[in-house]
Amino acid sequence: MIKPHGSEQLQPRFVYDAARNEALQKEAEGLPSLLLNSAAAANAVMLGAGYFNPLTGYMNRADALSVAANLHTTAGLFWPVPVVNLTHDASAIRGAKRIALRDPNVPGNPVLAIQDVEAIEEFTEAEISAMAEKIFRTLDPKHPGVSTFAGLGRTVVSGPIEVLNFSYFQQEFPDTFRTAVEIRNEIAERGWKTVVAFQTRNPMHRAHEELCKMAKEAVGGDGVLIHMLLGKLKAGDIPAHIRDAAIRKMVELYFPANTVMITGYGFDMLYAGPREAVLHAVFRQNCGCTHLIVGRDHAGVGSYYGAFDAQTVFDEEVPAGALEIQIFRADNTAFSKKLGKVVMMRDAPDHEADDFVQLSGTKVREMLAAGMDLPMEFARPEVARILMGYYQSEAAG
């Protein structure tokens, strides 16, 4: 199986030994505590699950600045975005060597992890702006990633962590949330050697379905990992439980048996376009995947990124050999009326725009909210019905 990023074996930060986990929970009761923001909590979950291998905890000021500027830590590890614990107020933990990190996303704010504090440092406003511009390629406050990052605080608490639970993800998504450890184990159990990962924060329409099948065939894959984001999204995005139901129905009816793993991961969407695409590649390698599908406007939002910037970043900013996972570069996919099937548009140079069935996201939402059937060429009817139920319930208030 493909090696994890940066190490021979996966090194998750979750405390699997039950006795030690219990002892740490008792210790946490007497430690100074810090209430995390959602971004820092998501980082803890990803560290615990092994997705952020080989990181052992939160980055310090120098590493965060270095990663933002040139995609490497000060020690030379390739990494695409800072993994930080930012806060507005560290007064309760000043001078502490060990602290309890509390979960902002679970009632009662239970302890999520314990951190060994190596440093408590301050970013300047200029440094926060410089990092944001590198990560998001914009400083527009209307960009959801920029606005979130700018509001996390200026104090950075660095050091290794031990993770005690996976926040709300295991309870709310017991059939879908999986750690990188669990995904690697299942890939090994299935005997898959070549595995294509498909990243999604949206329901999968007909074009996405066919793209997974095309990519699997093109690389001679044994299976597809459909890996959906389960964390915080921007307003207007479809909730995870609706996406989950729609994807499961599609796979049940339209994929050959035992060719797809449907899983999810506990992270908040960054909307960082190219940089986030590279992060997606890193943690899919940690899952054991050999290929990642990167398509049009991968991890993008609005018109902040060029249609294929998330592909060219792998040529322009990722050094040769930095990652073992390979990128499957997908073009726009759409149903061809001429050919009677979904194609990548670059493979149909003789087509005009009217030869394809394409709908904007806005148009799709309007049709579903109005109870209108989507074209069968665009969405499987069983999937469309699940989405229609959600949009009509939203419209009804």
**Predicted local confidence at residue 360, as pLDDT:** 65
Longest dimension (CA), the chain: 70
**Predicted local confidence at residue 394, as pLDDT:** 79
**What residue spans in the chain does CATH classification 3.40.50.620 cover?**
176-395
**Predicted local confidence at residue 345, as pLDDT:** 84
Q: Three-state SS for 205?
A: coil
Quick: pLDDT tens for 103-153: 999 999 999 999 999 999 999 999 999 999 999 999 999 999 999 999 999
Quick: pLDDT tens for 201-258: 888 888 899 999 999 999 999 999 999 999 987 777 788 899 999 999 999 999 999 9
Quick check: 353 and 374 in contact, CB under 8 A? no
| Cα–Cα distance for residue pair 88/92, rounded to 1 Å | 11
Instruction: List the alpha helices (DSSP H) in 151-226.
Output: 169-172, 180-190, 206-218
**Is residue 361 very low, low, confident or very high in pLDDT (cuts 50, 70, 90)?**
low
Active-site option among 154, 201, 296, 385: 201
Quick check: 232 and 269 in contact, CB under 8 A? yes
Closest CA to 213 of 376, 385, 341: 341
* Cα–Cα distance list, 372 to 94, 245, 356, 361, 388 (Å): 58, 20, 20, 14, 8
Q: Which two tokens stand for residue 167?
A: 């926040």
**Predicted local confidence at residue 262, as pLDDT:** 97
Quick: pLDDT tens for 92-101: 999 999 999 9
The mean pLDDT value for 367-378 works out to: 86
SS3 of 103-129: CCCCCCCCEEEEEECCEEEECCHHHHH
- Whether 109 sits among the annotated catalytic residues: the reply is no
Can you spell out the DSSP letters for 24-61? HHHHHTTS-EEEPPHHHHHHHHHHHTTTTTT--EE--H
Question: pLDDT exceeding 90 applies to what percent of the chain?
Answer: 82
Q: Which two tokens stand for residue 23?
A: 């002892």
In the chain, the amino acid numbered 332 is: N
Quick check: 10 and 180 in contact, CB under 8 A? yes
DSSP 253: H
Residue 277 sits at the vertex; the CA angle it makes with 341 and 201, to the nearest 5 degrees, is 60
DSSP 373: P
Q: Which residues pair with 356 in a beta bridge?
A: 336
Q: Which two tokens stand for residue 364?
A: 């799709």
**Predicted local confidence at residue 8, as pLDDT:** 97
**What residue spans in the chain does CATH classification 3.10.400.10 cover?**
18-170
Quick: pLDDT tens for 24-65: 999 999 999 999 999 999 999 999 999 999 999 999 999 999
**Predicted local confidence at residue 365, as pLDDT:** 76
State the CB neighbour count (10 A cutoff) for residue 59: 24
Kindly state the helix (H) or strand (E) to which residue 219 belongs, with its residue range. none
The mean pLDDT value for 12-27 works out to: 98
> Is 363 a residue whose pLDDT tops 90?
no
**Predicted local confidence at residue 324, as pLDDT:** 98
CATH superfamily of 176-395: HUPs (3.40.50.620)
State the CB neighbour count (10 A cutoff) for residue 181: 21
State the residue for tokens 């190490």. Answer: 7
Contacts of 379 (CB under 8 A, 6+ apart): 205, 206, 364, 387
Quick: pLDDT tens for 179-188: 999 999 999 9
Q: Which two tokens stand for residue 95?
A: 């001078």
Active-site option among 21, 109, 185, 202: 202
Kindly state the helix (H) or strand (E) to which residue 261 belongs, with its residue range. strand 260-265
At the topology level, CATH places domain 18-170 in Sulfate adenylyltransferase (3.10.400)
- Whether 286 sits among the annotated catalytic residues: the reply is no
Burial (CB count within 10 angstroms: exposed 0-12, middle 13-18, buried 19+), residue 79? buried
Least confident of 33-37, 187-191, 335-339: 335-339
Q: How far from the centroid of its chain's Cα atoms is residue 32's Cα?
A: 31
Q: Which two tokens stand for residue 377?
A: 């060429």
Burial (CB count within 10 angstroms: exposed 0-12, middle 13-18, buried 19+), residue 397? exposed
| Cα–Cα distance for residue pair 95/380, rounded to 1 Å | 58
How many Å is the Cα radius of gyration of the chain?
21
**Is residue 275 very low, low, confident or very high in pLDDT (cuts 50, 70, 90)?**
very high
